[in-house]
Amino acid sequence: MAAQNIYDDPDFLAGYATLNRQVHGLDGAAEWPELKKLLPDLAGKRVADLGCGFGWFSRWAEQQGAASVLGVDVSTKMLERAEAETDSATVSYRCIDLDVLELDADAYDVVFSSLTLHYLLDLDRLMATMAQAVTPGGSLVFSVEHPIFSAPTSQQFETSDDGNRIWPLDNYLVEGKRVTNWFVDGVVKQHRTVATYVNAVIDAGFILDRIVEFGSPASAVGENPEQRDDWHRPWFLLLGATRASD
């Protein structure tokens, strides 16, 4: 069974394209400064960008001197824009569902994925695919929707009886499908615990380097109560790892 391809839905894509991270690229992604710290020097590296979307990271990697960049995404519409905005023989794109993706062994020095793995049905399969594709000593860097964000049945803040804003965490240990409204009804994501992500990385043969639980920094939160909500739960889980040497 293939993962849902919501990004080719024209109504969804129209809303998604208005996000800061799609209007301004990596500079519009609040977590990018922290995610970038997990990456090695890309000069001369062979890079795979899984869930590349409009190709923002793929083009950035080429600008950092990557020897080659493969961007992979299931969305034909996103890849059409990525290809239109990419003018480099170093970067190529491939349209395929990551749940069935195959990669050549030892073909990449860095595998990167931003906010994609929480859509996949079979995380362990892709981890194994990435592990055999990364050369020993190479890097895996990815971000996902934080499990504290993805777990609740209703992913909305509530107000307690005493007037405090709370994030109603429930079903954290119940992994599996979550259906939400995000630009359109019926967006399907896969909730997993932090431990599941970490253990999938370790079991695939990577050495865990660093984990970041990213949320809105205090410096970015003003007096607006809705902005202060962002202190109560992290947005994203960022992870960097190294493939163990054979």
Residue 3 pLDDT level (bands cut at 50, 70, 90): confident
Please indicate, yes or no, if residue 160 is contained in any of the structural domains.
no
12-26, 51-65, 173-187 — most confident range: 51-65
Please indicate, yes or no, if residue 129 is contained in any of the structural domains.
yes
Please indicate, yes or no, if residue 124 is contained in any of the structural domains.
yes
Which pLDDT value is given to residue 221? 61
Pairing verdict, β 108-114 and 134-145: parallel
The conformational region for residue 205 under phi > 0 = left, psi -120 to 50 = alpha, else beta, is: left
State the CB neighbour count (10 A cutoff) for residue 9: 18
Which pLDDT value is given to residue 164? 84
Please indicate, yes or no, if residue 242 is contained in any of the structural domains.
no
Question: 133-184: per-residue pLDDT in tens?
Answer: 999 999 999 999 999 999 998 888 888 888 888 898 999 999 999 999 899 9
Which pLDDT value is given to residue 102? 97
Residue 54 pLDDT level (bands cut at 50, 70, 90): very high
Distance CA 144, CA 4 (A): 16
Please indicate, yes or no, if residue 1 is contained in any of the structural domains.
no
Please indicate, yes or no, if residue 139 is contained in any of the structural domains.
yes
Task: Indicate which CATH number applies to the domain containing 208.
Answer: 3.40.50.150
- Total structural domains in the chain? 1
Structure tokens at 218: 């205090």
Please indicate, yes or no, if residue 246 is contained in any of the structural domains.
no
Please indicate, yes or no, if residue 91 is contained in any of the structural domains.
yes
Quick check: 131 pLDDT over 90?
yes
DSSP state, residue 228 = H
State the CB neighbour count (10 A cutoff) for residue 230: 18
Distances (CA, A) of 152 to 107, 146, 169, 174, 177: 38, 11, 5, 10, 11
Range of the domain at 104: 6-29+43-145+193-218
